[in-house]
Amino acid sequence: MKARIEVMLKDGVLDPQGEAVARALGSLGFEGVGGVRQGKLIELDLAAGDAEAARAEARRMCEALLANTVIETYRVEIVE
């Protein structure tokens, strides 16, 4: 099974990467850019036999390693 995991900073947590992107876009002449948030996208191939098992394993991976749940949220999607 293939899992896609999105990890984003929680709302309200300062996102210096996103702010740097917003400033850089402005300096390149792009106007009308409001908030920019940058997160991580992780694609994993898992040996789990079915989608529910893969989802549960991916969530355990997020809690253990992939996301810092104090400041980040994550979303797991099983794509195939």
Residue 14 as a binder of a copy of itself (CB under 8 A): the answer is: no
Within residues 36-55, the interface with a copy of itself by CB under 8 A covers: 36-48
Q: With binding defined as CB under 8 A, does residue 70 bind a copy of itself?
A: no
Contact 58, 2 (CB under 8 A): no
**Amino acid of residue 39:** G
Sequence-distant (≥ 6) Cβ neighbours of residue 19 within 8 angstroms: 36
State the Rg of the chain over Cα.
16
| Residue 12 lies near a copy of itself (rule: CB under 8 A) | no
Residues within the interface to a copy of itself (CB under 8 A): 6-8, 18, 21, 24-25, 28, 30-48, 57, 60-61, 64-66
